[in-house]
Structure 1
């Protein structure tokens, strides 16, 4: 039988996930279908693609070669998709945007509402993720990221400087020493917020960790502990107060990024121009330009 793109996708998914069950879930097919298709592919090639172990499926030399071919094909498909998307003439169609949950809830949603009013022919697909999605694979078309070093493979705009400071309840003590803390976990922001809290609080004083910035302000407001927060979020919460000036070591930059092949696509250009225009007046708020009260 002739091999098809879906055959390569199946073999790659099995290799990446170590077995049929997770691969089938990723491809939205059932386990028995994945089993039959793998058997048919191996029969067609007259080669065993995986060694079946109790711990999972391990690719043979033939399987590894097919996985490499699948990766090249996936790259070619993504490149073709970007090239076609970049040739569109009007700001219309689907636009996939990724942003962290905290930014989406505190800042972005009103902006998206106004964008939808201005561009009714663009359909937004928002992917909420704390991780940096792969724009080269079209996991997203545009990314809003807080980072000091955007990947060199992407292009975009620097929108604002993001200041962080330590916040506590406004009706509680303004002291920092001896307080309990709330902290982003080590996987957030490269771990620098986690290390910042650990250096000041010690392990025993961290009462709650979150794997996202979303919820930090609510945890502080609930009285669990003090925490570093983006100034724009902390200053917008009446029940909270800054306990110290912004911390330079926690500062970052907000970037709007896309793949070079997509930067001239009308819907991408429309979104990037719109967000830059909307966020420009908000830069002092992002930068924490407000005195401690």
Structure 2
């Protein structure tokens, strides 16, 4: 009897994650069910698919072959989905979009709202993730990412530059200036952006002055507002808050490019094309905000509110 597709997916999930619990969570089943199903598959095949070690599940040659077959099957299914989607002429259906949390809360949500008002037949599934999802496997259809090196297997548009600067709370000392000379710092950890931000902070403050490290950029703003320390923030976030004060100009070494990316097989799909055109048109007038030019004059901070940007014409 041919092996069911679900059993191939189970073996692939365990091989990819190295353990039963995360594989079961990915598939939406409980670990005991995953354990029983794996035992049944191995019994049916008459071969062990994984070696059980303290460190996790390591695929045997048979397990590697089955996981590789599952990956090929998954790619064929994804390719079929893309071909079907490409035939649709009217923007409609489900659109999976992924972006980092800071881009979602401060930047993307108003744009999504205006896109949805314009294209009522498109339903959006937003995946907030700091890691790049696999667009080839349809984990997402479109990705909004800040990166210098977009993956070569994707296509898209460079929307602009995201500037970063150093910010502190807006409280002033007796001279009316914020004193950052001996201030504590908050810093993204080495795990964020390959350690780019951690190296930036380390070059300006000793380890004893780093009061807080975070494994994402999402909590940086809150920490700075609460007075935990000063630190780097994207200018589109820092310049819009009256509770923050910019302490430096845009730092060239922290600047990143904002990209809108999709899989080549999806670029002509009506819903994807409509979304990418819409986002590009909306971002164009926001470039001064993204590049930190709104914050050069502190009095212009309030004018940098992203919600105030009008929608694109129909």
Instruction: Confirm or deny a common fold (TM above 0.5).
Output: yes
Change (3 A) 1:65 1:221: same
Q: For the Cα contact (< 8 Å) 1:175–1:243, is it kept in 2?
A: no
CA distance in structure 1 between the aligned counterparts of 2:244 and 2:55, rounded to whole angstroms: 50
- 1:158 partner SS: strand
Which residue matches 1:240? 244
Give 4+ residue runs of structure 1 displaced > 4 Å after superposition: none
Which residue matches 1:253? 257
Deviates more, 1:223-232 or 1:42-51: 42-51
Superposition RMSD on alpha carbons, in Å?
A: 1.7
CA distance in structure 1 between the aligned counterparts of 2:191 and 2:215, rounded to whole angstroms: 7
Query: May I ask how many residue pairs the two structures share in their alignment?
Result: 293
Matched, 1:196 2:200: yes
Which residue matches 1:36? 36
- 1:201 partner SS: coil
Which residue matches 2:114? 114
- 2:58 partner SS: strand
Q: For the Cα contact (< 8 Å) 1:245–1:292, is it kept in 2?
A: no
CA distance in structure 2 between the aligned counterparts of 1:171 and 1:52, rounded to whole angstroms: 57
Q: State the Cα distance separating 1:4 from its structure 2 match.
A: 1.8
**Structure 2: unaligned runs, 5 residues or longer:** 299-314
Deviates more, 1:184-193 or 1:126-135: 184-193
* Counterpart pick for 2:277 among 265, 273, 276: 273
Which residue matches 1:211? 215
**Structure 1: unaligned runs, 5 residues or longer:** none
Q: State the Cα distance separating 1:54 from its structure 2 match.
A: 4.7
**TM-score w.r.t. structure 1 length?**
0.94
Residues 70-149 of structure 1 mapped to structure 2, 5 A cutoff: 70-149=70-149
Q: State the Cα distance separating 1:234 from its structure 2 match.
A: 0.8
- 2:150 partner SS: coil
Change (3 A) 1:52 1:199: same
Q: For the Cα contact (< 8 Å) 1:135–1:259, is it kept in 2?
A: yes
**TM-score w.r.t. structure 2 length?**
0.88
Q: State the Cα distance separating 1:55 from its structure 2 match.
A: 4.5
Which residue matches 1:4? 4
